Amino acid sequence: MLVQQSSELKEEIMRLKKEKDVVILAHNYQIPDVQDVADFTGDSLGLSRQAATVDQKTILFCGVHFMAETAAIISPEKKVLIPDLEAGCSLSDSITVDELRNWKNQHPDAIAVGYVNTTAEIKAELDYCCTSANAVNVVKSIPEDKDILFLPDMFLGSYVAKMTGRKNMHIWAGECHVHAGITPEDVTKKLESMQDAEFLIHPECGCTTPMMYDVADGSYDDKKVSILSTEGMLKHANKSKSKNFVVATETGILYKMKQQNPGKTFIPASEKAECQYMKMITLEKVYDALINEKNIVTVPKEIADKARLAIDRMLAIS
């Protein structure tokens, strides 16, 4: 019965989005049913780019609030809806605009680089935005003599500092509760149970920093270890000759991985790595937002104009 209801609801959503000229964007961490009705699925960077180029006048963003804000900033002429206004982000909440202004005052000559997982207010204070896919390249594009304030994710910041060799990066002590909860012990157990598995790890993970040093000193010589964004993981899994993968990120990505690679096995590094905010988006809420055109996400023009500069710089750097 539930399967039938779900199927009928999907059909109705597909009909409505055509009738109302709405494009549905869904993050890789969304539940499978929501990914099924989306026109595009992807990571923050990929979906930001889609938001900038789609023809439809209305975007229904199935993700968390800061993502819908980013779409509204990039496409001010479009209406942006979100199925649940309460779908927030623990990482985004880990720094306030007052804390950032105070930090900038302490380092007046520094360049502020912020992860896309931040509010529009924070983005308006940044010099550059970045995602996990292009954070290293964004930092590499900044003159080496310039101090960098990197926020809000300390694990991604540590990873970027390691990959670029920058000694003048100041890193905010924020974290994503989901990724921070994936421990080196989780990873080791899974890898031991699957001897021939490749290990794909998101740079926001709590295990990233110790894992990076392990990779550097050869501790994983007999394992293939790749530190990748969610979109990078999908591309890598598609190309790889390996049959088994341990995946350290939010479990929602496994649905797409299995869809794209039916002959391969994908195991989460931790079954507990679920974002309750991402999972707040349901088919029923997608339908409700579509039919009532509710939960419009707007960003005041003054903030949007400032934030757009940092976002445009992010979109220009692959």
Co-location of 217 and 158 in the same domain: no
pLDDT in tens, 177-188: 888 888 878 777
Q: What is the mean pLDDT of residues 38-66?
A: 90
> Would residue 126 count as lying in a domain?
yes
In this predicted structure, the answer to whether residue 236 has a pLDDT above a threshold of 90 is: yes
* Alpha helices, H only, the chain: 2-19, 32-37, 44-53, 65-74, 97-106, 120-123, 135-140, 154-164, 177-180, 184-193, 208-216, 230-239, 253-260, 283-292, 301-316
| CATH number where 197 lies | 3.40.50.10800
Residue 89 marked ligand-binding:
yes
Co-location of 53 and 36 in the same domain: yes
Instruction: Report the alpha-carbon distance of residue 209 to residue 207 in Å, rounded.
Output: 6
pLDDT in tens, 242-301: 999 999 999 999 999 999 999 999 999 989 999 999 999 999 999 999 999 989 999 999
Q: What is the mean pLDDT of residues 202-211?
A: 70
pLDDT of 222 reads 60
pLDDT of 280 reads 96
Residue 275 marked ligand-binding:
yes
Q: Taking each helix axis from N to C terminus, what angle separates 283-292 and 2-19, rounded to the nearest 10 degrees?
A: 30
Co-location of 84 and 105 in the same domain: no
Higher pLDDT, 45 or 69: 69
In this predicted structure, the answer to whether residue 4 has a pLDDT above a threshold of 70 is: no
Mean of pLDDT over the chain: 89
- Confidence class of residue 24 from pLDDT cuts 50, 70 and 90? very high
The torsion angles phi and psi of 297, rounded to 5 degrees, stand at -100, 120
Give strand pairing partners of 266: 245
Residue 230 marked ligand-binding:
yes
Q: Which residues of 17-47 are buried (b: 16+ CB within 10 A; e: fewer)?
A: beeeebbbbbbbbbbebbbbbbbebbbbbbb
Share of the chain above pLDDT 90, in %: 66
> Would residue 84 count as lying in a domain?
yes
> Would residue 124 count as lying in a domain?
yes
Max alpha carbon distance in the chain (Å)? 63
pLDDT of 79 reads 95
Residue 115 marked ligand-binding:
yes
pLDDT of 216 reads 47
Co-location of 249 and 190 in the same domain: yes
Share of the chain above pLDDT 70, in %: 93
Co-location of 171 and 96 in the same domain: yes
In this predicted structure, the answer to whether residue 318 has a pLDDT above a threshold of 80 is: no
In this predicted structure, the answer to whether residue 238 has a pLDDT above a threshold of 50 is: yes
> Would residue 116 count as lying in a domain?
yes
Note down the domain range covering 138: 92-176+304-316
Residue 132 marked ligand-binding:
yes
pLDDT of 1 reads 43
Co-location of 28 and 108 in the same domain: no
pLDDT in tens, 53-90: 999 999 999 999 999 999 999 999 999 999 999 999 98
Co-location of 16 and 60 in the same domain: yes
Instruction: Report the alpha-carbon distance of residue 138 to residue 141 in Å, rounded.
Output: 5
Residue 203 marked ligand-binding:
yes
Higher pLDDT, 227 or 238: 238
Residue 210 marked ligand-binding:
no
pLDDT in tens, 134-148: 899 999 999 999 999
- What is the domain count for the chain? 3
Co-location of 185 and 170 in the same domain: no
> Would residue 230 count as lying in a domain?
yes
Co-location of 68 and 141 in the same domain: no
> Would residue 273 count as lying in a domain?
no
> Would residue 247 count as lying in a domain?
yes
Residue 160 marked ligand-binding:
no
DSSP 109: T
In this predicted structure, the answer to whether residue 3 has a pLDDT above a threshold of 60 is: no
- Confidence class of residue 223 from pLDDT cuts 50, 70 and 90? low
Ranges 18-32, 39-53, 130-144, 296-310: which has the least confidence: 39-53
Co-location of 191 and 264 in the same domain: yes
Co-location of 122 and 137 in the same domain: yes
**Two structure tokens written together for 279:** 């999972």
Residue 270 marked ligand-binding:
no
